[in-house]
Amino acid sequence: MERPTLGTPPGAQYVAGRRRPGRGEEFRLTDPASGGELLTYRLASAEDVDEAVAAATAAYPEWSSATPADRSAALTRLAAELDSAAEELAQTETAQTGKPIRLSREFDVPGTVDNAAFFAGAARNLEGRAAGEYSGDHTSSIRREPIGVVGSIAPWNYPLQMAAWKILPAIAAGNTVVLKPAENTPLTSLMFAEAAKAAGIPDGVVNVLSGQGSSAGERLVSHPDVRMVSFTGSTAVGRRVGELAVRGVKRSHLELGGKAPFVVFDDADLEAAVHGAVAGALINGGQDCTAATRAYVQRPLFEDFVSGVAELFGRIRIGDPADPATDLGALISHRQRDAVAGFVERARAAGAVIAAGGEAPDKGHDGADLSAGAYYRPTLITGVPQDAECVQQEIFGPVLVVLPFDTDDEGLRLANDTPYGLAASAWTRDVYRSLRATRELQAGCVWVNDHIPIISEMPHGGYKASGYGKDMSQYSLDEYTQIKHVMQDTTAVARKGWHRTIFGDV
């Protein structure tokens, strides 16, 4: 399989089975770990968007009428292609995002391969609910059909997995796709498209446009031949994308921001909760829409929880993302690092206690100079009220805020008190508390005694301002299909009973 290299790529647009340069302006990809240049490419122009949509439109009749078995076989081959490119995918993902190589190797890439294997199976399990003679004079049946060309837009935090989540269910169901990854992380999406070609998926079924949101993104969402818009990103941009989709009367699927609460009741296993909070807050540098961001800890455990997390935060090895010993790499960009630092500085200025971190490190765990990279220390904030900016808004960095609560009612109420509702966790050994928390926490996913794990068979998606629609699992196939009711006359008579409403008894 032909793979992109980090040196001089043949262009960052993948249209109709071919990689080529865009016709837009030049864009410099920065290495988050060093601040240096990774590569420069030409962005997608409006003309590139039109070409990609035309390629997906042309590929639709053949792909949508392929048998589920044929689509399934192609996805099985895609899983094998991705698996065979695993190490290169992991290294490229780490190079473009700054995430630790351990995460790319052990989470991003295997998760993507497993997703492809899952949708290979799911492609053969599309179903309608019932068929029968409901009117007495007709046989009704359900056809579940693909929608057409899907315009997908993905964020930079998990570029490979987001490409997989957007493309796999869509093509499993018979749609064709134009994916726009974030402009600063196009590389593994391009590799994904090339793996699809190597797997024998026809040209035009998967297209990748590397371009800016405000230009290529809006053009894609608004294109009249795009029948569905699938977006993952921030709530602010999701609103705009949703508005554009409504204007075109297109189906939309919005996976938006999160501010996951982490609720620790006083009977919890403290060691498990402390380790869970550290891992849940720092995964992917905290640039994870389900990351643990607000820990609510019942008063008897509060002090020990804060000191336990602060101690573990201090032991996290920050450094070169390519080093397997590194726990926390660089954030996606200097801009993101400065945005995170801004949240922490405003909290500090408002009187918060910064119990750990609160600054960019000079040196890594191995003594290397980190000053040119987009690094930030794991940061623990306490002493802030529920309405503080750092409690209410998505920071998207390695920052955990901890607040105490007294009664179970209060803990659950505070946990639900943000506009978001993507994920939440409850920590308790009491089955009744657990049942209550899983019922009352307003989020699309609630973990008990853990925080973060996902699995291909189960859905991921938001409540409230975290959006609507589901990724992964059989549920995502509902997003990418439409239901047709077919009603066939069984009487074979010219004058149907219901014609009396028109003709009377004559």
Binding interface with ligand NAD (CB under 6 A) = 153-157, 180, 182-183, 213-214, 217-218, 221, 232-234, 237, 240-241, 255-258, 289, 394, 396, 422, 460, 462, 466-467
The total of other beta-carbon atoms located within 10 Å of residue 56's CB is: 27
Across 235-264, b (16+ Cβ under 10 Å) vs e yields bebbebbbebbeeeebbbbbbbbbbbbbbb
Structure tokens that stand for 176 in this block: 């064709």
Q: Which of 183, 289, 390, 394 is catalytic?
A: 289
Q: Which is nearer to ligand NAD, 265 or 463 (CB)?
A: 463
Q: Which is nearer to ligand NAD, 233 or 319 (CB)?
A: 233
Alpha-carbon distance 414 to 194, whole Å? Answer: 46
Helix H or strand E encompassing 82: helix 68-84
Least distance to ligand NAD, CB of residue 338, Å: 14
Least distance to ligand NAD, CB of residue 501, Å: 48
289 is catalytic: yes
Q: Which is nearer to ligand NAD, 182 or 301 (CB)?
A: 182
Least distance to ligand NAD, CB of residue 202, Å: 25
Nearest to residue 290, comparing CAs of 423, 395, 159? 423
Alpha-carbon distance 15 to 492, whole Å? Answer: 50
Least distance to ligand NAD, CB of residue 34, Å: 21
Q: What is the CA radius of gyration of the chain?
A: 25
- Residue that has been written with the tokens 């201090």 in this structure: 314
Least distance to ligand NAD, CB of residue 358, Å: 22
Q: Which is nearer to ligand NAD, 109 or 241 (CB)?
A: 241
Nearest to residue 89, comparing CAs of 77, 106, 72, 76? 106
Q: Which of 93, 183, 255, 394 is catalytic?
A: 255
Say how many Å lie between the first and final Cα of the chain, rounded: 72
Q: Which is nearer to ligand NAD, 466 or 481 (CB)?
A: 466
37 is catalytic: no
Alpha-carbon distance 217 to 233, whole Å? Answer: 12
The total of other beta-carbon atoms located within 10 Å of residue 368's CB is: 12
Catalytic residues: 255, 289
